[in-house]
Structure 1
């Protein structure tokens, strides 16, 4: 017999403890829940990190529109506690809050007022079978590209972009030794820091077996060829 995991709590209601900023905007906290694919190899530099990630989105209570979990930040909790609570209540997952992505001001479609949204990253370790809003929301795991495409809020898409930029840059910075090489752009060559350039282009790194490794990319009609010494 399978034992179901259960969160013995209900969603918070009411706004008696709701936080507001100095301009009177309601403060909300949201998370970008993510996980690595099951076959992800952290020691490998083959492929881009974007392809190794999956993101959890949830539906609105009143429509099939998809978004990341978010909700009101209350006076009796830290921003991390609010993020964990909202993610459990709405998405039914457990994990670790890792870092803050930023603050966005957005207009609530339902209330026609401006809110202050704080977004954090949330690495998922466990999915619950039962959670407070299971009966009113759907949840779905998507790739980065699909998540950005279907997310209904532009400010959440911007937060996802910040997350991807931070994660990719951090991974390459920690695992990739600094290297310089020759950059050929439309027939003109110059010496560049290839580590920085590869991060900006989100290119994969592969071990090279010849005197140099050539990585090509076509962007808006311009061919970029990087020559890296082995």
Structure 2
């Protein structure tokens, strides 16, 4: 079972040539063709996919599932790797600031209580709505790779 407390701090997070490695999910309800998004903790009114730092004691898939639990209270099965995407390329260093690694998760259940429930709202959107509302390019790319895009 997942912890009721979110992991905090970056001391155990992984980096690649200075780029923070971030793992996340496109949590889907495949029957309803919906995507679960969470309110951004940094930008009010912005909706994002659940994601966060990949830590040194877990696999990419475990990090993505943990972040989806912590931020959205969703538990499910990872069914596909959706790709790796560089975010905020820094011309001075010649490297990205972050590398996002996304997976598709078929949501099996949504819990009433989850670690970041007081920090974040969660909401189901149709696939088409999610593509419109998500502002970050790396997240739109991940959405375009999920199984809902091919139906």
TM-score normalized with structure 2 length: 0.88
Structure 2 Cα separation of the partners of residues 20 and 155 of structure 1 = 18
CA-CA distance at 1:16 after TM superposition: 1.2
Structure 1 Cα separation of the partners of residues 2 and 46 of structure 2 = 25
Cα deviation, 1:143-201, whole Å, max 9, x if unaligned, reads 11100000121111011111147x73xxxxxxxxxxxxxxxxxxxxxxxxxxxxxxxxx
Number of aligned pairs? 144
- Alignment correspondent of 1:57: 37
- Alignment correspondent of 2:10: 15
After superposition, the Cα gap between the structure-2 partners of 1:75 and 1:64, relative to the gap in structure 1 and judged at 3 Å, is same
Q: Which has the higher contact order (CA 8 A, sep 6+)?
A: 2
**Gapped runs of 5+ residues in structure 2?**
90-95
Structure 2 Cα separation of the partners of residues 164 and 125 of structure 1 = 16
Structure richer in strand, relative to its length: 2
Higher Cα Rg: structure 1 or 2?
1
- RMSD of Structure 2 on Structure 1 (CA): 2.0
CA contact (8 A) 1:7 1:132 kept: no
Residue correspondence of structure 1 range 71-110 to structure 2 within 5 A: 71-107=52-88
CA contact (8 A) 1:7 1:130 kept: no
